[in-house]
Amino acid sequence: MWWNNVETKPFGGYPQHWDVKLLEKLGPQKWEKGEGDSGKTYQGKTIFEAAPKGEVALGYLPEDKEWRFPNIYEDTSTPWKDKATLPSHDTFFFYLQRICNHCTYPACAAACPRKAIYKRKEDGIVLIDQERCRGYRKCVEQCPYKKPMYNPQTRISEKCIACYPRVEQDTVTRCIAACVGKIRLQGWINLPEKIEADNPMDYLVHVAKVALPSYPQFGTEPNVFYIPPRWVPRGYLKQLFGPGVENAIERYSDPDPDLLGLLQLFGTTQQIIEKFRVTEKDAIGYDAHKREIIRVPLEDPIVIRPPIYHNIT
Ligand code: SF4
Ligand code: F3S
């Protein structure tokens, strides 16, 4: 059971083809009107609106065989049918790391007839109550991201718990702490109308808009956001991350000093950074009490080896 899996897109999927299957069921998905690409609104149906009679959301239950290969198509690139123009490439793959999105409108919780799934008010973490669950698997069927997983040994379902005992100590989750690429950052996000520009998540998602949800058309408002890769054909990226892709790539390809500084704070501390500030020299992260917890230089100092040490091993 892989609560946190990494897929090689576009072919990889765990369970296999989880996204393609649901996208096909959902029907036409268009983003229209609004100002610019990122201002567009979704015109198709969400999984809730497309729900068959008697169900809360559109979904399907994967067969056992679809869960067999967590790393299927690992590192397999694919030729794209549209002609790509640089910087995007015709042949590509990229990694998509996936945990439960702890959605604002969790379809898993809505679907459970036992009301065994709940979203915590204090931190938004979505949990399955292991005492209440009876293994009905409606959550597995109706979570569009296929993140609740049925455990045939215990006959109940489990999912990512967002490392809540760590979060209660203001510490980031293990998947974020353990990321050697330092490409993950965890924090608290505000509603768009209550943005705080010195809040790292608000800055990435609402101000710079470089971090985008996966498959926003599903309608659950996922709370995991991705900075899209720039060499992947845009059509594919837009299907996966919505219409904000061009803006995101443009913005991080030529970042302003605040964004550049904030990106340098990724993976630098195990404490949750609540506020950040970028000076001419440093990017600084603060905790909830406005205490400095991390400071990184924007430029690493260059040390030149004195001639006396040349050619010495
Ligand atoms: Fe529920 Fe799925 Fe959203 Fe996680 S990703 S909160 S399991 S609907
Ligand atoms: Fe409910 Fe899912 Fe368990 S639908 S009963 S939480 S398997």
Q: pLDDT per residue over 58-79, tens digit each?
A: 999 999 999 999 999 999 998 8
Q: Which atom from ligand 2 is nearest to the alpha carbon of 148?
A: 2
Smallest-distance ligand from the CA of 159 = 1
- Calculate mean pLDDT across residues 36-54: 89
- Spatial CA neighbour of 189 closest among 175, 174, 199: 199
101: in domain: yes
195: in domain: yes
| 117 close to ligand 2 (CB < 6 Angstrom) | yes
| 107 close to ligand 2 (CB < 6 Angstrom) | no
Angstrom distance (rounded) from CA 133 to CA 68: 24
| 56 close to ligand 2 (CB < 6 Angstrom) | no
Do you know the residue count of the chain?
313
Smallest-distance ligand from the CA of 142 = 1
The Å distance, Cα 114 to ligand 2 centre, comes to 7
Q: Choose the weakest-confidence range: 125-129, 275-279, 299-303, 308-312.
A: 308-312
302: in domain: no
- Calculate mean pLDDT across residues 222-242: 95
Angstrom distance (rounded) from CA 162 to CA 224: 11
The Å distance, Cα 146 to ligand 1 centre, comes to 8
311: in domain: no
As for how many domains the chain has, the answer is 1
Angstrom distance (rounded) from CA 152 to CA 123: 30
Q: What is the pLDDT of residues 140-189, one digit of tens each?
A: 999 999 999 999 999 999 999 999 999 999 999 999 999 999 999 999 99
- Calculate mean pLDDT across residues 114-126: 97
pLDDT of amino acid 37: 65
313: in domain: no
pLDDT of amino acid 1: 65
pLDDT of amino acid 57: 98
Angstrom distance (rounded) from CA 13 to CA 5: 9
Angstrom distance (rounded) from CA 227 to CA 247: 11
CB-based burial, 136-174: b 16+ in 10 Å, e otherwise: bbbbbbbbbbbbbbbeeeeebbebbbbbeebbeeebbbe
309: in domain: no
pTM for the model stands at 0.93
| 149 close to ligand 2 (CB < 6 Angstrom) | no
- Concatenated DSSP letters of 132-176: T-----HHHHH-TT---EEETTTTEEE---TTHHHHTTTB--HHH
pLDDT > 90: percent of the chain:
86
The Å distance, Cα 47 to ligand 1 centre, comes to 13
| Domain residue limits at 23 | 5-297
310: in domain: no
Assess whether pLDDT exceeds 90 at residue 309. Answer: no
Smallest-distance ligand from the CA of 117 = 2
308: in domain: no
